[in-house]
Structure 1
């Protein structure tokens, strides 16, 4: 049973908004592109894993994707958490191409890409083991719960060097082998650990305590509000400056029209400037003068708000 779906990472949404509204010659564009490509590749790997998880019997497994919890005032992220009555499984997703050598002695992963370039990174097995310890502490249960963990590679073409330490063969696998591996773990752990009521309370608590990442985009990506292009972007020619006429937006450059081009602009503001917006701020950002039109446009977004009339504040949609 899927209890927590994986959403588009906030960082990807922010970077896409920056691609739309940051001058192409801005100094951070190269770094943005590199991070964007890396994150999109990671999302693709996670989707591969999600696909094979769909083959599991939904009545036997509770699945949480993109889970973020707080323990002892420290956040930890679990790519995928699978819970059954018999065991708990943490999955660390990796989408790495090339040849991989897992160095047990130094607890590191050596990756050689198609160009022959070598990169050394933290051993992902150590990473998911650390997450499992944090999750056990977070649960705080007086039960001897079997905790399993795996590192799953989303790219089926990734080569695992057989010289890697022997312990890795039980914990590192490709996504296409995931369903069979989980069934193997179910056969290994046959005793029911969780009573139905305990399991229900645990899954409910996990959902309640899920704490999506919140970042300050201007501090994280090193830009200022002054760097952001205002106005409504034409969905056709991508130029800014669409104007309101007869309840539609019209592009003065290509003459294309749109009824809802303002929605992306308002979301861009909430992603890039600050997570709240007022009627006045909306008018300034969209380049319109009418308070009534701004009120109607903001209400069309179904955003949560507080206050009334001129004191009304609208909030960015919750994500993740």
Structure 2
């Protein structure tokens, strides 16, 4: 999971439902989850079925600079014979590409829905990749759902169903060797990491004093647990845990950074005893040279495990 997706998941859990940002957060989270599911299926299929003379490199969730902004790339495939951007769409319905006005809509359940044009998104990503890598780049729109059907196709790029994608890519590899994928990958990995935290919090208008604090019960999911007898207890469902605070610390780190003021840690975890707080933070938020502050040890696998259970 990338940080952008994790931030939306945390906000959907921690924002009160009457907050102005809760509806857009949950709506965009739903779309992001669908997209992530399509990308995971695409990567799994390629790793399993794609047969090329030499193994390709598959890079995902890239943001390549273009003019004043960035082009987002779902999956970039690097091979000695070609480079290809995969624009993965995990949508259902009937799809219509307007080749004259470069617009896009789908029909679903008798309704017409205008949406961002996948061909325009792909074209922007291809041009950004070509300029950054100084290499020719192909592009494919990938339909990850079998419940999607193209009625009117795009003008400049192919649309390929996920099942057929390995065969299509194998055709691209029939040309001459011309690229060094290791050199291209090194260049892409040198790109600075984008910090979505500040961008999304400002966009949604969310500040620290607006989110729900406390250690979340992973069963109730919106109920703060109480620390008693070295365990976290949920008064609503009776569940208990020894280390539920670990996820809360990771959530705070993703939203607001790894620096944790000790005074705020009492409120964040909902404890009052300084010895209890010390034991809870001893290994999870390390002391530095600055008095009154700790630094949370990043453990993204805890958040991934928690949210995979929530959104399975």
**1:210-268 deviation line (CA, Å, top 9, x unaligned):** 62452324322223333222222233444644333332223344443211110122223
**1:67-110 deviation line (CA, Å, top 9, x unaligned):** 12335563222111111111111111112211111121111222
Decide which of 184, 187, 200 is 1:205's aligned counterpart.
Answer: 187
Q: Report the counterpart of residue 132 of structure 1 in structure 2.
A: 126
Decide which of 137, 141, 152 is 1:147's aligned counterpart.
Answer: 137
The alpha-carbon deviation at position 139 of structure 1 amounts to: 1.8
* Native 8 Å contact 2:7 2:255 kept in 1: yes
Decide which of 264, 277, 282 is 2:260's aligned counterpart.
Answer: 277
Q: 1:295 to 1:77 in 2, by over 3 A?
A: farther
Instruction: Indicate whether 1:193 and 2:178 are aligned.
Output: yes
Give the length in aligned residue pairs. Answer: 298
Structure 2: which 5+ runs fail to align?
Answer: 305-312
More displaced 10-residue stretch of structure 1: 206-215 or 77-86: 206-215
Q: 1:13 to 1:278 in 2, by over 3 A?
A: same
Instruction: Indicate whether 1:118 and 2:112 are aligned.
Output: yes
Q: Report the counterpart of residue 4 of structure 1 in structure 2.
A: none
Q: 1:45 to 1:292 in 2, by over 3 A?
A: same
Instruction: Indicate whether 1:172 and 2:153 are aligned.
Output: no
Structure 1: which 5+ runs fail to align?
Answer: 1-7
More displaced 10-residue stretch of structure 1: 198-207 or 77-86: 198-207
Q: SS in structure 1 opposite 2:77?
A: strand
**1:133-188 deviation line (CA, Å, top 9, x unaligned):** 11121124xxxx44211011111121111x436x46x611111111010001112x
Distance 1:27 1:94 in 2: 29
Distance 2:194 2:256 in 1: 19
Q: Report the counterpart of residue 229 of structure 2 in structure 1.
A: 246
Distance 1:87 1:45 in 2: 23
Distance 1:135 1:207 in 2: 13
Within 5 Å, which residues of 2 pair with 1:1-320? 8-54=1-47, 55-57=49-51, 59-71=54-66, 74-114=69-109, 116-140=110-134, 145-161=135-151, 163-164=152-153, 167=155, 171-187=158-174, 190-194=175-179, 198-209=180-191, 211-216=193-198, 217-238=200-221, 240-301=223-284, 307-308=288-289, 310-315=291-296, 317=298
Distance 2:190 2:299 in 1: 14
The alpha-carbon deviation at position 312 of structure 1 amounts to: 4.0
**1:255-305 deviation line (CA, Å, top 9, x unaligned):** 43211110122223234455532322212211223444434433433x6x6
Distance 1:135 1:318 in 2: 31
Distance 1:306 1:72 in 2: 42
Distance 1:108 1:178 in 2: 24
Distance 1:264 1:25 in 2: 24
* Native 8 Å contact 1:250 1:257 kept in 2: yes
Please give the root-mean-square deviation of Cα atoms over the aligned residues, in Å. Answer: 2.8
TM-score for the superposition, normalised by structure 1: 0.81
* Native 8 Å contact 1:86 1:186 kept in 2: yes
Distance 2:85 2:237 in 1: 51
Q: SS in structure 1 opposite 2:70?
A: strand
The alpha-carbon deviation at position 192 of structure 1 amounts to: 0.9
Q: SS in structure 2 opposite 1:310?
A: coil
* Native 8 Å contact 1:102 1:108 kept in 2: yes
Q: Report the counterpart of residue 5 of structure 1 in structure 2.
A: none
